[in-house]
Structure 1
Amino acid sequence: VDYTEKGWFVQYIDRDPETIKKQEQTKAKEKMDMDDEERTASLIQKQIKRAAEQGTVAKEVEYTELKRESEEEKVSLNFSGLVSKKKDEQPLKSSENPLAVKKPTEAEKPKKKASRWEKEEPKKEVKKDPFKPPKPGEKRKSALDEIMEFEEKKKEKTNRKDYWLTEGIVVKIVTKKLGEKFYKKKAVVKEVQDLYRAVIKTIDSGDKIRVDQNHLETVIPAQGKLVKIVNGAYRGYDAVLESIEEKKFCCTVSIHSGPLRGRVIDNVQYEDISKIYQPT
């Protein structure tokens, strides 16, 4: 309430908490805007001062009157230097700011030195063109061969396991934990238990032992004998041992029975086949 020349003046002040809060927020925003404007103006002034110190702001050109000492003296003008200078120094476009920092192009950017902790990006593998003609002397695969190769890789992935014990095969004991009596003795797998263990019977003495597959190894018979394929694409098939490549620790077999009878399989590892027990 206030008394003026026109009379009593009454002003209503809203004391509602929400109203007071809004007024305080408005004042804070106005102060923040003013602070931002002051900071921006100060930054511009600093940029102008820095540019002036570095000589980037062009000084005003002072023009003088051309005077000749004598009337007979000739005046010659040389524009070659001016032309070359203009070529070297291209004027700034009207849209360019003399104080703006020019961003380097992709070509001008220095290459980042790779850190020894950073992993190199893997090189993209070049896919082999299936229609590329074979090299001289190389036999081109037929469509049937390619299909068979694909199916074999698929079966290899499916049938390759970390266990291989199979009933009816001959194995060799390769541990001394069972005693010197059984070390390097051959036995027949009589029963497979939980995939990784089996009950075996020694061939010479007839002793039965329960043993883990890690203490056994496969037995490779003589050429022409029957073997069981215990791992890989043709797991479970009976086959005939055709040849042995001792230097590569592998052999060649042919399927003995079934729909794949006669199929020859090369580069079969020793641990993927074992002799089939045939009592004499």
Structure 2
Amino acid sequence: MGKKAEVGTPKYLANKMKAKGLQKLRWYCQMCQKQCRDENGFKCHTTSESHQRQLLLFADNSKRYIDDFSYEFAKGYMEILRRQFGTKRVNANKVYQEYIHDRDHVHMNGTRWVTLTGFVKWLGKTGQAVVDETEKGWFITYIDRSPETVEREEMKKKKQKMDKNDEEKQMEFVEKQIRLAQKQGPSVEPVYTELVRDNEEEVLKLDIKLKTDKQATPTPQNIFKIPPTVPTESKKRKLDDKKKSALDEIRELEESKREKQNRKDYWIAENIIVKVITRNLGEEYYKQKGIVKEVKDKYVAVVKLLDSGKKLKIDQEHLETVIPALGKLVKVVNGAYRGETATLCSVDEKNFCVEIEIYSGLLKGRKVKGVQYEDICKLNDQ
């Protein structure tokens, strides 16, 4: 009685085959970490001396043991859910079957939860997962709150905010103009009437005068002499295009590439002079000019007013660029030459653009035409 079978014997192989698969949960003792094969074996184990000693230890501090087993069970279950299924919606029992494949796992009969349903409901109440009940059972979805995931989501939101395309910007500009037009008042629509002649009996007269004087016959010209031709506008344009050198084409390609790369939806920079264009802060700050002392989160500026010396923390939507006098320094705040310091050469008021000359750096001396008003701003030279 109690003697183990020798290695290699049929009895030994039979015992190994029985012990290989999972056994019933009700015949497992978590305190002793012993799995019994049947009810008789479990009954014999509960009457053993070693089991009685473990029960005495459990009786001294039962809450600590149950809390430890519950913590280990929840940790192992959530680890399987996170690693194998991620944030996908999955059947809770399927995750449990994956968890109990490990023979050394903490069994549920040693935890505070009697059933898997109770455990799943606890996960939903504590906010560790999203749970829902269907006809096929309880389904669970893992909520990833790791610092890496949170940081990745924030970076994604910032990138989406920065990657607004030109069409969205144009639509926002059009909507803004529509709102301004609606504030100014309704437009007067023209009234169309039927065309009616005042005097229907009036007779139309044609007064045609033919010249009777004979004009002098022109002197004969040499038909073999080709008269000089005056080039048209289209021909002039083609000639100008042909005159473009390879260097000009490379420069145009470079400017288009720089424009695509440096065009952003934020333009605030330090040490530039801007104008407040909102009345929300009060009438005393409206149309006031100030110096940008600090930029926060790319879209918010700390502005020190020139007149009063007060500091305002304001979004770029409520600020406007300032165009200085000719010959003064400006900062390119957006577009192909973003970040460069330049000199204002001329202003084209009809097309709302200017011509600038790069003041310093590798591009010093380069003149750029057609720069929009909002792409440059007066630089504080004090």
CA distance in 1, matches of 2:257, 2:341: 20
Q: 2 CA distance for matches of 1:191 and 1:156? A: 25
Q: What is the rounded CA distance, in whole Å, between the counterparts of 2:322 and 2:296 in structure 1?
A: 20
Of the three residues 343, 346, 353, the one matched with 1:250 is: 353
Distance 1:149 1:211, change over 3 A: same
* Cα deviation, residue 140, structure 1: 1.7
Counterparts of 1:30-109 in structure 2 under 5 Å?
Answer: none
1:119 aligned residue? none
In structure 1, distance between residues paired with 2:277 and 2:380: 19
Q: Scaled by the length of structure 1, what TM-score is found?
A: 0.51
Superposition pairs for residues 98-177 of structure 1, below 5 Å?
Answer: 135-136=238-239, 140-177=243-280
Residue equivalent to 2:334: 231
Separation (CA, whole Å) in 2 of partners of 1:134 and 1:216: 40
Q: Does structure 2 conserve the Cα–Cα contact (< 8 Å) formed by 1:134 and 1:140?
A: no
Q: CA deviation at 1:134?
A: 6.5
Instruction: Tell me the alpha carbon deviations over residues 83-110 of structure 1, each in whole angstroms, 9 at most, x when there is no partner.
Output: xxxxxxxxxxxxxxxxxxxxxxxxxxxx
In structure 1, the residue matched to 2:315 is: 212
Secondary structure of 1:181 counterpart: helix
Change (3 A) 1:210 1:134: closer
Which of 370, 373, 379 pairs up with 1:270? 373
Q: Deviations over 1:184-218 (max 9, x none)?
A: 00000000000000100000110000000000000
Q: Distance in 2 between matches of 1:245 and 1:137?
A: 23
Sort the Cα spacing of 1:139 and 1:246 in 2 relative to 1 into closer, same or farther, 3 A: farther
Q: How many residue pairs get matched? A: 148
- TM-score, scaled relative to structure 2: 0.38
Does the 8 Å contact 1:172/1:185 carry over to 2? yes
% identity of equivalent residues: 59
1:170–1:274 CA contact under 8 A, matched in 2? yes
Q: Which residue of 2 aligns with 1:40?
A: none
Q: CA RMSD in A?
A: 1.7
Give 1:183's match in structure 2, choosing from 286, 301, 304: 286
Query: Whole-Å Cα distance in 2 between the matches of residues 134 and 179 of structure 1?
Result: 53
Alpha carbons of structure 1 residues 190 and 141: separation in structure 2 relative to 1, 3 Å: same
1:198 equivalenced with 2:334 (yes/no): no
Q: Secondary structure at the match of 1:154?
A: helix
Question: Which of 218, 222, 236 is matched with 2:325 structurally?
Answer: 222
C-alpha separation in 2, matches of 1:134 and 1:274: 33
Higher relative contact order (CA 8 A, sep 6+): 1
5+ long unaligned stretches in structure 2: 1-235
- CA distance in 2 between counterparts of 1:139 and 1:256 reads 31
Q: Classify the secondary structure of the residue corresponding to 1:178.
A: coil
CA distance in 2, matches of 1:134, 1:174: 42
Structure 1's unaligned 5+ residue stretches are 1-132
Q: Distance in 1 between matches of 2:367 and 2:381?
A: 23
Shift of 1:278: 2.1
